[in-house]
Amino acid sequence: MHSTFLKSLYLAALCVLATAAGAQETWVRCGASIDVVEGRLTDAVTLVMVDERIDRVVGGHPPAEENVEIVDISGLTCLPGLMDMHTHLTSQSSPQRYTEGFTLNEADVALRATVYARRTLDAGFTAVRDVGDSFNVSIALRDAIEAGHVPGPRIFTSGKALATTGGHADPTNGWRADLMGTPGPRDGVLNGVGEAREAVRQRYKDGADMIKITVTGGVLSVAKSGLAPQFRPDEVRAVVETAADYGMHVAAHAHGKEGMIRAITAGIHSIEHGTMMDDEVFELMKTHGTWYVPTIIAGKFVAEKAEIDGYYPKLVRPKAREIGPMIQDTFERAWKSGVRIAFGTDSGVSMHGDNAEEFVFMVETGMAPAEAIRTATVNAAQLLGVSDQAGTLTAGNWADVIAVAGNPLEDVSMLGRVEFVMKAGRVYKRE
């Protein structure tokens, strides 16, 4: 409470100093806005932006003052920028995906990533976690976006995801024997506690913001099991403890129950996908405060593509058919049980720019649109540890605003038709 009060005073002082110094103000006139905390539609508001932050929120549309830039979107409804907690900006699904590791250069991957980043931003997602990349491209992309060289969302990235030998994120799965080699901690492959610590430290050295581990098998890896645990309990603990030393949280890809239990009891920050969750896992997550990032859209996408001959390798198709369709039901049981949920899509497995379809699938289970929107705003900000900067249209927060033509509390599919995007006070999309 004391620190929150001091922060409020500090932000207020900054606002006064900025105004006194004659800082440029941008006024965004919204026809209405969504109070994502209360889950209600407000009357018209004007968001006053100064130095990439929301300086203040004013009711109605007061007359313009001198030296003020006006952004008039009074026909639209404003929301905080959306946040997707599970993306892969360096790749996208296609029938060629499994051969591209042999045909694409680092530069090819990097240039494609700039396109996917822009699609994500245009879709209204102003911040993302990237939880597994190639060549550390997402780290370079994050820095390029922050420097203003290319447009894209704010990126919180793990760099290369961590796996055990033959595990879901082992980059050589399915390769010819003489090409496999023996990837190690530098490549994101570890065995044992010592290598677990080394792999985390390598990600820190690379410039990652967080850590991603694959505690169970996966759907799309060229390996037989999609459910078996792939990290020993002491290995998971070593990853989590070492990441904590560097102030990084750890996300765990997990489909099978035993792998999830090992991760949750080790102190993992979030479970991604969580297909085989049951009541025991839900209670464990609530006890430990573990976040759940569902990725329903990815499950539906892979199940659909599994029916197309040649889209996935033969080893992958049965897993995609079995595991993919289960995630929506798991999600429904999880939110009804009271597990903390943050929005995530696994975009890259599905198509970049289609992120908002996840809202529709969430609401199909009976979740209210307001609650679904909170998972991508308030909840996502909490997961990232940036609740004091993001998630609401509040003074002191990032000047990240999107707008749609209508009320998404009544029709959440409107979030798939974003007409205005502002990030850090700069307009990137206006239709």
Helix axis angle for 296-305 and 357-364, nearest 10°, is 100
Q: Which residues, 6 or more positions from 243, have their beta carbon under 8 angstroms from its beta carbon?
A: 200, 210, 211, 249, 250
Best CA proximity match to 129, nearest among 202, 60, 210: 210
Q: Determine if residue 273 is left, alpha or beta; phi over 0 gives left, psi from -120 to 50 gives alpha, anything else beta.
A: left
Segments in 137-218 forming alpha helices (H): 137-146, 177-180, 193-206
Nearest-angstrom CA–CA distance, 250 and 255 = 16
Q: Would you say the C-alpha torsion 102, 103, 108, 109 has a positive or negative sign? A: negative
- Output the CA angle 59-60-66, nearest 5 degrees: 100
Q: Which residues, 6 or more positions from 190, have their beta carbon under 8 angstroms from its beta carbon?
A: 162, 163, 164, 184, 196, 198, 199, 235
Catalytic residue check, 257: no
Q: Would you say the C-alpha torsion 132, 133, 134, 135 has a positive or negative sign? A: negative
Tokens of 249: 């949280």
Catalytic residue check, 205: no
Q: 80 and 343 in contact (C-beta within 8 Å)?
A: no
Task: Please pick, among 84, 122, 133, 212, the residue that the annotation labels catalytic.
Answer: 212
Tokens of 183: 């990837």
Task: Please pick, among 346, 400, 423, 429, the residue that the annotation labels catalytic.
Answer: 346
The residues carrying an active-site annotation are: 212, 346
